[in-house]
Chain A
Amino acid sequence: MIRDITLGQYYNVESLIHRLDPRVKMAWTFMYIIGLFIINDFIGFVFAGICLALVIYMSKVPVKFMVRGLKPIFFIIVITFILNMLMIGGEVLVKWWIFSITKEGLKQASIMAIRLIMLIIGSSILTLTTKPINLTDGIEKALSPFKRFGFPAHEIAMMTTIALRFIPTLLEETDKIMKAQQARGADFESGNILRRAKQLIPILVPLFIGAFRIANDMAMAMEARCYRGGDHRTKMHSMQYEKRDFVAYGLIVVFLAAIILLRIYF
């Protein structure tokens, strides 16, 4: 069962959005989030919403997957909405005991909620259409100008790559250890939280020892394959921008400009 897990939430289809350079997608996500905070009227959200819907349509990822990301933060959205609604003063619509709902409060609360929802959906497009490994490569490439100031772009990317590679291996290891402990009578399912936490120790100790052993073997295997850090290193996929990537960059500018204009004139 553990062998079937998918890493991250990548949704595997062919689409224009999937093929875009990860750097473009990261820039888009970043600028889109900034854009969401510039918007302070419903007309802006309508515009951003249309853009978002268009991108979702082009990505060929079912909307169901986009919305799934909202579930864990649904509670936060509701609380934000209620707090905003009650805290902002102005023209009173409903009054009950010490609570009063104002027109301005209702508007601000809706804007906040819409902003959060669109933020989550928008950024999940990045992870849904980009493999974690490509995302890592993209981050390395995007951050490499900062190497001059001693920023370890390559090291971070290499660490992430290896971490991604070992998630399934360590899960398998955990599974094995748990089964071995259960075979000798360990009980992971009963008792209160404290008891259960204690029962995790016999899993964690061998797991950590195993991880250190793996790290040691891995370091040796990497050295044997001439790994010596990021200098002199080339890449098989040399990540070249294509025409579509430049178009996408251009569209970011258009998108931001439109949002700023909407804010000024409406």
Chain B
Amino acid sequence: MEKIVRIENLIFKYANNNDEKRVLDDISITIDKGSFTAIIGKNGSGKSTIAKNINALLLPTEGNVFVYEYNTKADEHIWDIRQCAGMVFQNPDNQIVSSVVEDDVAFGPENLGIEPQEIRRRVDYALKEVDMENFRKRPPHMLSGGQKQRVAIAGVVAMKPDCIIFDEPTAMLDPRGRKEVMKIIKELHREGITVILITHFMEEAAQADRIIIMDDGKIEMDGSPVEIFEKSNRLKELNLDVPLAVELRDRLLRKGLNISKDIIDKESMVDYLCQLK
């Protein structure tokens, strides 16, 4: 499997902070091309800092971050890195540049210096991907939070990245907007884009192929959702939520029911319970 992102012994400190606190403390992760990884942790655990290091918005204090073979420290490849690994931020309002939806989506491709006709094609494609093609001429401030975030995603999709890093994309949205955005993230992943989802909602992380749990700048756990939720006690020690289905499974186990460890989501739980009678 080709590795798209390689983080090697990454240590990160904010330079202007005098105290020696390491925001990221010796992190090593590799991300497979085409995978869907969720990084979850409490506020201040360093999860967003990882995202900004992958995108070369922040540079490692020590250690290295590679996107494909490009080191983020090498200035000459910085634009290749940012094109390969796009990024969607938390606040949809603060990442939309233009007062017309389609012009905003065109912003990234315009920065890459692409031909106008090709930009047009990409903008149409990207807006279709996020299901916003009927809003192309609208001003963004008239859209709902979820719609705005979808426009922001389209802006990244139009740059044709191989990997998209979502930095808490649903944190400021209502439940409906959250659902819309998660649906699009999963669709993009199905179409072959590598997804790195930073979140603090366990329900969202549970939809990934791999969950990395961060605590205080270190990787606490790393594995598939099934592996992670097997140790649900450890999650509770870290003050993290456990999805409802996993909580129910654990309680049923404690009651002596023979329930499979693979049941971690609502659908499989329903299937299992319906077979019981």
Contact = CB atoms under 8 A, between A and B. Distances in A.
A226 B139 contact: no
Contacts of B155: 225
Contacts of B142: 3
B98 interface: yes
A255 to B, nearest CB: 32
Report, nearest first, the 7 A-B pairs whose CB atoms are least far apart. A221-B95, A217-B94, A236-B106, A168-B141, A226-B111, A225-B108, A224-B87
B110 A234 contact: yes
Interface string A222-266: 111111100011111110000000000000000000000000000
B93 A161 contact: no
A157 to B, nearest CB: 11
A161 B107 CA distance: 12
Given A169-B141, A217-B94, A234-B119, A228 B110 contact: no
A7 interface: yes
A180 interface: no
Interface residues of B, number: 41
Contact of A236 (B99, B109, B156, B159): B109
A221 B110 contact: no
Interface stretch (B66-74, B78-86, B263-271): B78-86
Nearest to A134: B100
Interface in A171-230: 172, 214, 217-218, 220-228
A238 B96 contact: no
For A223, A225, A226, the residue with the greatest tally of chain B CB atoms inside 10 Å of its CB is A225
A149 B32 CA distance: 49
A162 interface: yes
For A224, A227, A233, A238, the residue with the greatest tally of chain B CB atoms inside 10 Å of its CB is A224
A217 B92 CA distance: 10
Contact of A227 (B86, B96, B111): B111
A233 B141 CA distance: 26
B2 interface: no
Contact of B108 (A168, A220, A226, A237): A226
Contact of B98 (A133, A214, A223): A133
A170 to B, nearest CB: 10
A165 interface: yes
A234 B120 CA distance: 12
Contacts of A3: 141-142
A70 interface: no
A7 B99 contact: yes
B55 interface: yes
A139 interface: no
A164 interface: yes
B116 A238 contact: yes
B101 to A, nearest CB: 11
